[in-house]
Amino acid sequence: MSYFSFLLDASRWGGSGGIGQLLLQHLLYTVAAVAIGAVIAIPLGVLIGHTGRGGFLVIGLSNAARAIPSIGFLVLVVLLLGTGSGKVVLVLAVLALPAVLTATAAGVAGADADAVYAARALGMTGGQVVARIEWPLALPLVVSGLRSATLQVVATATVAAYAAGGGLGRLLISGQLNRDYSQMFAGAVLIAALAIVLDLLIGSLGRLLSRRVRRAPATPSAAPA
């Protein structure tokens, strides 16, 4: 038996429950969860990094994220709220949040101290310092946090098939039930490929942002009289 037989069978890609639909579902779970996590984590991380307050929250969330088993958390949510795609996205968003929050807070807090001091000396407000100095310098690290969160979500979304019945994890579950190892192999390959593609895309975005930051002056200068 060829392990590639299921993956290379064109008839497996179309229709309801086909590989194409499952791949799209997995991608949508990932994008939605990371987007929700970022919308919450980035503003909170900027606030923590800029003010220097609430660092305990970052440490606590990071430690909790490492301690909580993903599938256990998913089962708990399903038991409390029921099954469905929305519940799966909620779980994945919660798991994505710590990586983005930690990276954002660290990036803003680690902005060039001389540039921040010069900006304040020129009379910039706190919001202006964040927008013009701290945020641009923190962007590469923020993207790195998004990268880590995305990889974690892609991997964890595999178990979403237990709750929502969608995503590439369905190939692994069905393959195991039917003892169809080519189907399980197809699911594993596609999950790995999706993770690699998304990682490369976000990594390219990070390098682009880093180049733009290096071209921009880090320290503000006073306007000529």
* Furthest CA-CA distance within the chain: 79
Q: Which two tokens stand for residue 124?
A: 């910039």
> Within a domain: residue 112?
yes
Helix (H) or strand (E) holding 109: helix 85-109
Q: What is the pLDDT of residue 225?
A: 43
> Within a domain: residue 165?
yes
Q: What is the pLDDT of residue 41?
A: 92
Q: What is the pLDDT of residue 129?
A: 87
**What b-and-e string marks burial along 50-80, b requiring 16 or more CB atoms within 10 Å of the CB?**
beeeeeeebeebeeebeeeebeebbeebbee
What whole-number distance in Å separates Cα of residue 43 and Cα of residue 140?
Answer: 16
Among candidate residues 74, 97, 89, 75, the one with its CA nearest the CA of residue 26 = 89
Q: What is the pLDDT of residue 120?
A: 84
> Within a domain: residue 224?
no
What number of other Cβ atoms are within 10 A of residue 15's Cβ? 10
Amino acid identity, residue 208?
L
> Within a domain: residue 89?
yes
Q: What domain count does the chain have? A: 1
Residue 203 backbone class (left: φ over 0; alpha: ψ -120 to 50; beta: rest): alpha
Domain ranges, residue 51: 5-215
Q: What is the pLDDT of residue 220?
A: 55
> Within a domain: residue 222?
no
How many helices (H) and strands (E) the chain has is answered by 11, 0
Q: Which two tokens stand for residue 60?
A: 């606590």
CATH code for the domain in which residue 196 is found? 1.10.3720.10
φ and ψ at residue 14, rounded to 5 degrees: -95, 175
Q: Which two tokens stand for residue 64?
A: 């909790």
Among candidate residues 129, 150, 138, the one with its CA nearest the CA of residue 203 = 150
Sign of CA dihedral 110, 211, 149, 33: positive
What whole-number distance in Å separates Cα of residue 141 and Cα of residue 144?
Answer: 5
> Within a domain: residue 220?
no
Q: What is the pLDDT of residue 131?
A: 82
Task: Give per-10-residue mean pLDDT for the chain (225 aa).
Answer: 82 87 94 95 91 79 73 78 82 90 90 84 84 85 93 89 80 89 93 95 83 60 49
- The half-sphere exposure of 219 on its side-chain side, counting CA atoms within 13 A, is 8
What whole-number distance in Å separates Cα of residue 51 and Cα of residue 143?
Answer: 21
Residues 6+ away with beta carbon under 8 Å from 13: 19, 20
> Within a domain: residue 51?
yes
Q: What is the pLDDT of residue 208?
A: 82
> Within a domain: residue 221?
no
